[in-house]
Structure 1
Amino acid sequence: MDSSSNGSSGEGSHDFARARRIVKTDEFSSVFRLRPAQKSAHFVLYTRQNQLPHARLGVVVAKRLAPRAVTRNTIKRVTRELFRVTGLPAIDCVVRLAKPVNTKAGPATTAKLKAELRVELARLFAAQSKARPAR
Protein backbone atom coordinates (compact mmCIF):
# COMPACT_ATOMS: atom_id res chain seq x y z
CA MET A 1 0.00 0.00 0.00
CA ASP A 2 1.11 3.53 -0.63
CA SER A 3 1.61 6.02 2.18
CA SER A 4 -1.36 8.17 1.14
CA SER A 5 -3.79 5.44 2.16
CA ASN A 6 -3.18 5.80 5.89
CA GLY A 7 -6.33 7.91 6.07
CA SER A 8 -5.39 9.97 9.12
CA SER A 9 -5.03 13.36 7.44
CA GLY A 10 -6.48 14.65 4.22
CA GLU A 11 -3.97 17.48 3.84
CA GLY A 12 -0.41 16.85 4.96
CA SER A 13 0.35 20.54 5.47
CA HIS A 14 -2.00 20.80 8.45
CA ASP A 15 -0.46 18.09 10.59
CA PHE A 16 2.51 18.39 12.91
CA ALA A 17 4.08 14.97 12.49
CA ARG A 18 7.54 14.20 13.83
CA ALA A 19 8.95 14.74 10.31
CA ARG A 20 7.89 18.40 10.54
CA ARG A 21 9.67 18.98 13.86
CA ILE A 22 13.25 19.85 14.65
CA VAL A 23 14.04 17.58 17.59
CA LYS A 24 17.76 16.83 17.65
CA THR A 25 20.27 19.12 19.34
CA ASP A 26 22.55 19.24 16.29
CA GLU A 27 19.62 20.26 14.08
CA PHE A 28 18.82 23.15 16.43
CA SER A 29 22.51 24.11 16.55
CA SER A 30 22.86 24.19 12.76
CA VAL A 31 19.95 26.64 12.51
CA PHE A 32 21.17 28.77 15.46
CA ARG A 33 24.60 29.14 13.83
CA LEU A 34 23.02 31.36 11.21
CA ARG A 35 21.95 34.93 11.81
CA PRO A 36 18.41 35.56 12.97
CA ALA A 37 16.07 35.95 10.01
CA GLN A 38 13.71 38.25 11.88
CA LYS A 39 12.98 39.70 15.29
CA SER A 40 9.77 40.86 16.90
CA ALA A 41 8.96 42.29 20.33
CA HIS A 42 9.18 38.89 22.06
CA PHE A 43 10.60 36.43 19.52
CA VAL A 44 13.59 35.74 17.31
CA LEU A 45 13.12 33.58 14.22
CA TYR A 46 16.07 31.65 12.80
CA THR A 47 15.77 29.97 9.41
CA ARG A 48 17.86 27.70 7.23
CA GLN A 49 17.08 25.95 3.96
CA ASN A 50 16.55 22.22 4.13
CA GLN A 51 16.53 19.49 1.49
CA LEU A 52 13.09 18.19 2.48
CA PRO A 53 9.81 18.75 0.61
CA HIS A 54 8.38 20.63 3.62
CA ALA A 55 9.26 23.09 6.36
CA ARG A 56 10.21 22.02 9.89
CA LEU A 57 9.77 23.85 13.18
CA GLY A 58 11.58 24.01 16.50
CA VAL A 59 10.42 26.12 19.45
CA VAL A 60 12.62 27.27 22.33
CA VAL A 61 10.96 28.83 25.37
CA ALA A 62 13.36 29.34 28.27
CA LYS A 63 12.05 28.85 31.77
CA ARG A 64 13.68 32.08 32.96
CA LEU A 65 11.69 34.08 30.38
CA ALA A 66 8.40 32.26 31.01
CA PRO A 67 8.57 30.73 34.48
CA ARG A 68 5.09 29.19 34.44
CA ALA A 69 4.69 25.93 32.51
CA VAL A 70 1.23 26.98 31.36
CA THR A 71 2.76 30.06 29.73
CA ARG A 72 5.49 28.06 27.99
CA ASN A 73 2.98 25.52 26.71
CA THR A 74 0.65 28.26 25.45
CA ILE A 75 3.48 29.87 23.49
CA LYS A 76 4.45 26.51 21.95
CA ARG A 77 0.85 25.66 21.09
CA VAL A 78 0.20 29.01 19.37
CA THR A 79 3.51 28.76 17.48
CA ARG A 80 2.75 25.24 16.20
CA GLU A 81 -0.77 26.23 15.19
CA LEU A 82 0.43 29.20 13.12
CA PHE A 83 3.24 27.12 11.59
CA ARG A 84 0.72 24.49 10.43
CA VAL A 85 -1.56 26.97 8.66
CA THR A 86 1.18 29.11 7.07
CA GLY A 87 2.52 27.83 3.77
CA LEU A 88 6.28 27.97 4.22
CA PRO A 89 8.96 26.96 1.70
CA ALA A 90 11.36 24.08 2.50
CA ILE A 91 13.13 25.69 5.45
CA ASP A 92 13.98 24.83 9.02
CA CYS A 93 12.53 27.43 11.41
CA VAL A 94 13.47 27.87 15.04
CA VAL A 95 11.35 30.30 17.05
CA ARG A 96 12.99 31.45 20.28
CA LEU A 97 11.39 33.51 23.01
CA ALA A 98 13.82 36.40 23.53
CA LYS A 99 12.11 38.62 26.11
CA PRO A 100 10.13 37.84 29.25
CA VAL A 101 6.38 37.64 28.78
CA ASN A 102 5.43 37.87 32.44
CA THR A 103 4.81 41.25 33.97
CA LYS A 104 3.89 42.23 37.48
CA ALA A 105 0.76 43.89 36.09
CA GLY A 106 -0.96 40.65 35.16
CA PRO A 107 -0.66 36.96 34.45
CA ALA A 108 1.10 35.88 31.29
CA THR A 109 -1.75 33.78 29.97
CA THR A 110 -4.31 36.52 29.51
CA ALA A 111 -6.29 36.59 26.29
CA LYS A 112 -4.74 39.97 25.45
CA LEU A 113 -1.19 38.63 25.67
CA LYS A 114 -2.12 35.51 23.73
CA ALA A 115 -3.53 37.69 20.93
CA GLU A 116 -0.39 39.86 20.88
CA LEU A 117 1.89 36.82 20.65
CA ARG A 118 -0.28 35.35 17.88
CA VAL A 119 0.03 38.58 15.85
CA GLU A 120 3.83 38.67 16.31
CA LEU A 121 4.26 35.05 15.27
CA ALA A 122 1.90 35.41 12.32
CA ARG A 123 3.99 38.34 11.03
CA LEU A 124 7.22 36.36 11.37
CA PHE A 125 5.84 33.35 9.49
CA ALA A 126 4.10 35.48 6.85
CA ALA A 127 7.36 37.24 6.00
CA GLN A 128 9.08 33.86 5.55
CA SER A 129 6.32 32.48 3.35
CA LYS A 130 6.65 35.48 1.00
CA ALA A 131 10.45 35.47 0.91
CA ARG A 132 11.51 32.50 -1.19
CA PRO A 133 15.09 31.63 -0.31
CA ALA A 134 17.58 31.83 -3.17
CA ARG A 135 19.58 28.69 -3.87
Structure 2
Amino acid sequence: MPGVSTFAFPKAARLTKTDEFSSVFALRPRRRSTHFVLYVRPNDRPEGRLGVVVGKKFAPRAAERNLVKRMARELFRQRRDQLGGRDVLLRLQAKFPRAEFATRAAVRRACAAEIASLLDVAAKPLPPPAPPASPPAPPTAAPAASPSQSQPPGQPA
Protein backbone atom coordinates (compact mmCIF):
# COMPACT_ATOMS: atom_id res chain seq x y z
CA MET A 1 0.00 0.00 0.00
CA PRO A 2 1.51 3.32 -0.93
CA GLY A 3 1.64 5.92 1.81
CA VAL A 4 1.23 3.45 4.70
CA SER A 5 4.30 3.18 6.88
CA THR A 6 5.39 -0.01 8.54
CA PHE A 7 4.41 1.60 11.85
CA ALA A 8 0.78 2.21 10.85
CA PHE A 9 -2.19 0.50 12.41
CA PRO A 10 -4.36 -0.14 9.32
CA LYS A 11 -8.11 -0.54 9.32
CA ALA A 12 -7.71 -4.22 8.38
CA ALA A 13 -6.09 -4.75 11.80
CA ARG A 14 -9.09 -3.39 13.71
CA LEU A 15 -12.40 -4.79 14.84
CA THR A 16 -14.79 -2.10 13.61
CA LYS A 17 -18.31 -3.48 13.35
CA THR A 18 -20.72 -4.30 16.12
CA ASP A 19 -21.08 -7.86 14.83
CA GLU A 20 -17.32 -8.40 15.03
CA PHE A 21 -17.23 -7.22 18.64
CA SER A 22 -20.32 -9.27 19.54
CA SER A 23 -18.90 -12.49 18.10
CA VAL A 24 -15.79 -12.13 20.26
CA PHE A 25 -17.73 -11.05 23.38
CA ALA A 26 -19.87 -14.19 23.03
CA LEU A 27 -16.86 -16.27 24.04
CA ARG A 28 -15.60 -16.88 27.54
CA PRO A 29 -12.84 -14.50 28.57
CA ARG A 30 -9.42 -15.96 27.89
CA ARG A 31 -7.73 -14.14 30.79
CA ARG A 32 -8.43 -11.44 33.35
CA SER A 33 -6.00 -9.02 34.93
CA THR A 34 -6.51 -6.40 37.61
CA HIS A 35 -7.97 -3.86 35.20
CA PHE A 36 -8.61 -5.69 31.90
CA VAL A 37 -10.40 -8.67 30.40
CA LEU A 38 -8.97 -10.41 27.33
CA TYR A 39 -11.08 -12.22 24.74
CA VAL A 40 -9.47 -14.11 21.84
CA ARG A 41 -11.13 -15.79 18.87
CA PRO A 42 -9.60 -17.36 15.77
CA ASN A 43 -10.48 -15.61 12.53
CA ASP A 44 -10.16 -16.72 8.93
CA ARG A 45 -7.69 -13.97 8.03
CA PRO A 46 -3.92 -13.98 7.87
CA GLU A 47 -3.63 -10.86 10.06
CA GLY A 48 -4.74 -10.34 13.62
CA ARG A 49 -7.34 -7.74 14.54
CA LEU A 50 -7.72 -5.72 17.72
CA GLY A 51 -10.73 -4.24 19.45
CA VAL A 52 -10.51 -2.09 22.56
CA VAL A 53 -13.47 -1.22 24.78
CA VAL A 54 -12.90 1.52 27.34
CA GLY A 55 -16.10 2.81 28.91
CA LYS A 56 -16.70 6.06 30.74
CA LYS A 57 -17.65 4.11 33.83
CA PHE A 58 -14.05 2.96 34.35
CA ALA A 59 -12.19 5.86 32.71
CA PRO A 60 -14.30 9.00 33.12
CA ARG A 61 -11.79 11.32 31.44
CA ALA A 62 -11.40 11.21 27.68
CA ALA A 63 -7.64 11.62 27.99
CA GLU A 64 -7.44 8.45 30.08
CA ARG A 65 -9.66 6.48 27.68
CA ASN A 66 -7.55 7.60 24.74
CA LEU A 67 -4.33 6.75 26.58
CA VAL A 68 -5.50 3.19 27.21
CA LYS A 69 -6.57 2.73 23.58
CA ARG A 70 -3.34 4.19 22.19
CA MET A 71 -1.23 1.94 24.39
CA ALA A 72 -3.24 -1.16 23.46
CA ARG A 73 -2.94 -0.40 19.74
CA GLU A 74 0.81 0.22 19.97
CA LEU A 75 1.52 -2.95 21.95
CA PHE A 76 -0.70 -4.95 19.56
CA ARG A 77 1.08 -3.42 16.55
CA GLN A 78 4.44 -4.54 17.94
CA ARG A 79 3.16 -8.14 18.20
CA ARG A 80 1.08 -8.30 15.01
CA ASP A 81 3.11 -11.12 13.51
CA GLN A 82 2.53 -13.28 16.63
CA LEU A 83 -1.21 -12.55 16.70
CA GLY A 84 -2.04 -13.42 13.10
CA GLY A 85 -5.26 -15.32 12.52
CA ARG A 86 -7.07 -14.19 15.67
CA ASP A 87 -9.35 -11.44 16.86
CA VAL A 88 -8.21 -9.93 20.15
CA LEU A 89 -10.54 -7.85 22.29
CA LEU A 90 -9.41 -5.94 25.38
CA ARG A 91 -12.01 -4.48 27.73
CA LEU A 92 -11.27 -2.22 30.66
CA GLN A 93 -13.10 -3.66 33.68
CA ALA A 94 -11.86 -1.57 36.62
CA LYS A 95 -10.85 1.99 37.36
CA PHE A 96 -7.29 3.10 37.97
CA PRO A 97 -7.81 4.55 41.49
CA ARG A 98 -6.34 8.00 41.97
CA ALA A 99 -4.88 6.98 45.35
CA GLU A 100 -2.65 4.37 43.70
CA PHE A 101 -2.20 6.03 40.31
CA ALA A 102 -1.75 9.72 41.11
CA THR A 103 0.18 10.52 37.93
CA ARG A 104 -0.45 9.77 34.31
CA ALA A 105 2.95 8.07 34.14
CA ALA A 106 1.84 5.61 36.84
CA VAL A 107 -1.32 4.78 34.87
CA ARG A 108 0.78 4.38 31.72
CA ARG A 109 3.24 1.97 33.40
CA ALA A 110 0.49 -0.20 34.93
CA CYS A 111 -1.53 -0.20 31.74
CA ALA A 112 1.46 -1.14 29.58
CA ALA A 113 2.47 -3.98 31.89
CA GLU A 114 -1.03 -5.47 32.04
CA ILE A 115 -1.75 -5.15 28.32
CA ALA A 116 1.65 -6.61 27.39
CA SER A 117 1.10 -9.65 29.61
CA LEU A 118 -2.42 -10.16 28.21
CA LEU A 119 -1.17 -9.93 24.62
CA ASP A 120 1.49 -12.52 25.47
CA VAL A 121 -1.36 -14.82 26.56
CA ALA A 122 -3.26 -14.01 23.36
CA ALA A 123 -0.22 -15.01 21.29
CA LYS A 124 -0.16 -18.52 22.76
CA PRO A 125 -1.72 -21.28 20.67
CA LEU A 126 -5.50 -21.34 20.90
CA PRO A 127 -7.21 -24.46 22.19
CA PRO A 128 -8.78 -26.56 19.45
CA PRO A 129 -12.38 -25.60 18.75
CA ALA A 130 -15.01 -27.76 20.38
CA PRO A 131 -16.59 -30.18 17.92
CA PRO A 132 -20.00 -29.01 16.81
CA ALA A 133 -22.85 -30.70 18.61
CA SER A 134 -24.32 -33.37 16.36
CA PRO A 135 -28.02 -32.99 15.71
CA PRO A 136 -30.23 -35.56 17.44
CA ALA A 137 -30.96 -38.65 15.41
CA PRO A 138 -34.35 -38.56 13.71
CA PRO A 139 -36.94 -40.77 15.36
CA THR A 140 -37.14 -44.18 13.78
CA ALA A 141 -40.30 -44.71 11.79
CA ALA A 142 -42.65 -47.55 12.65
CA PRO A 143 -42.22 -50.54 10.33
CA ALA A 144 -44.43 -50.32 7.28
CA ALA A 145 -47.53 -52.44 7.49
CA SER A 146 -47.86 -55.31 5.03
CA PRO A 147 -50.64 -54.96 2.44
CA SER A 148 -52.70 -57.66 4.11
CA GLN A 149 -52.59 -55.75 7.42
CA SER A 150 -53.60 -52.44 5.86
CA GLN A 151 -56.92 -53.87 4.60
CA PRO A 152 -59.81 -53.96 7.00
CA PRO A 153 -60.55 -57.47 8.21
CA GLY A 154 -62.99 -59.45 6.16
CA GLN A 155 -62.09 -57.80 2.83
CA PRO A 156 -60.07 -59.71 0.23
CA ALA A 157 -56.66 -58.45 -0.64
Same fold (TM over 0.5): yes
Greater C-alpha radius of gyration: 2
Q: Deviations over 1:49-102 (max 9, x none)?
A: 100011000100010110000000000000000000012131011100001124
Partners of 1:66 and 1:102 within 8 A in 2: no
SS state of the match for residue 30, structure 2?
A: strand
Q: Greater share of helix residues, 1 or 2?
A: 1
Percentage identity across paired residues of the two chains:
45
Cα separation, 1, equivalents of 2:92 and 2:55 = 7
- Residue 103 of structure 1 pairs with residue 98 of structure 2: yes
Cα separation, 1, equivalents of 2:101 and 2:47 = 39
Partners of 1:89 and 1:132 within 8 A in 2: no
- Residue 8 of structure 1 pairs with residue 1 of structure 2: no
1:29 match: 22
1:68 match: 61
2:36 match: 43
Cα separation, 2, equivalents of 1:7 and 1:110 = 33
Cα separation, 2, equivalents of 1:53 and 1:106 = 38
SS state of the match for residue 36, structure 1?
A: coil
1:85 match: 78
What is the root-mean-square deviation in Å for CA atoms of aligned residues?
1.8
Change (3 A) 1:102 1:68: farther
Change (3 A) 1:89 1:103: same
TM-score (norm 2): 0.74
- Residue 126 of structure 1 pairs with residue 120 of structure 2: yes
TM-score (norm 1): 0.85
SS state of the match for residue 115, structure 1?
A: helix
Change (3 A) 1:31 1:105: closer
CA deviation after TM superposition for structure 1 residue 131, in Å? 2.5
Change (3 A) 1:89 1:112: same
Q: Deviations over 1:20-43 (max 9, x none)?
A: 100101110000000001111100
- Counterpart of 1:17 in structure 2: which amino acid? P
SS state of the match for residue 89, structure 2?
A: strand
Give ranges in structure 2 of 5+ residues lacking alignment. Answer: 130-157
- Runs of 4+ that moved beyond 4 A: 104-107
The answer to which structure, 1 or 2, has the higher relative contact order (CA under 8 A, 6+ apart) is 1
